[in-house]
């Protein structure tokens, strides 16, 4: 909860939904809407962008899940951080922010079935045995998803 207060009080908020979705190329995601956001209280915008890659991550084994947070900085560079890996079906804890000066765009949840693994930046989001879910966010949710 303290992260949300810091994020709002420091002026790092997404003001419109980016429309996170699976990207055109394998293993990528995109935004389908122009994103309006604040960075340190200054209004910014980023046009819809395709074929964004997960910038960090640990592979998921079969029957696991996690959240990836999507972040944007003042210059419009999009990065991601990975939350803790849990058993498929368990609530996924929200990822932490590891870089100062970024605004949360949204979350991507990846779940593997009992016979499939997922390697960030390599495995396609729509591969057989992978379930994905995309969440546009104003700031970080206060609890697991």
The answer to whether residue 23 scores a pLDDT higher than 50 is yes
Q: CB of 75 within 8 A of CB of 106?
A: no
Does residue 7 have a pLDDT over 70? no
Q: Is the pLDDT of residue 47 over 60?
A: yes
Q: What is the pLDDT of residue 56?
A: 79
For the cut 70, the answer to whether the pLDDT of residue 2 exceeds it is no
Report d(CA 72, CA 69) in Å as an integer: 10
Rounded CA-CA distance 33/35 in Å is 6
> pLDDT, tens digit, for every residue of 74-129?
999 999 999 999 999 999 999 988 788 999 999 999 999 999 999 999 999 999 99
6: pLDDT strictly greater than 60: no
The pTM of the full predicted model, rounded to 2 decimals, is: 0.92
**In this model, does residue 41 exceed pLDDT 80?**
yes
How many residues are listed for the chain in this entry? Answer: 145
The pLDDT of residue 8 is 54
* CA atoms of 56 and 2, how far apart (whole Å): 24
The mean per-residue pLDDT over the stretch 41-48 comes to 96
Give the pLDDT of residue 97.
83
What is the DSSP-derived secondary structure letter of residue 97? Answer: P
């Amino acid at each position: 909860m303290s992260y949300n207060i810091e994020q709002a009080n420091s002026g790092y908020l997404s003001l419109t939904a980016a429309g996170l979705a699976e990207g055109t190329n394998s293993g990528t995601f995109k935004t389908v809407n122009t994103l309006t956001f604040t960075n340190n209280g200054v209004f910014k915008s980023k046009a819809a962008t395709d074929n964004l890659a997960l910038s960090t991550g640990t592979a998921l084994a079969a029957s696991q899940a996690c959240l990836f947070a999507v972040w944007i900085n003042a210059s419009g560079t999009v990065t991601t951080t990975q939350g803790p890996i849990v058993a498929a079906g368990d609530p996924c804890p929200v990822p932490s922010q590891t870089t100062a000066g970024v605004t949360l765009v949204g979350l991507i949840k990846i779940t593997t079935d009992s016979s499939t693994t997922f390697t960030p930046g390599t495995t396609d989001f729509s591969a057989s045995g992978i379930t994905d879910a995309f969440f546009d966010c104003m700031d970080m949710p206060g609890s697991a998803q």
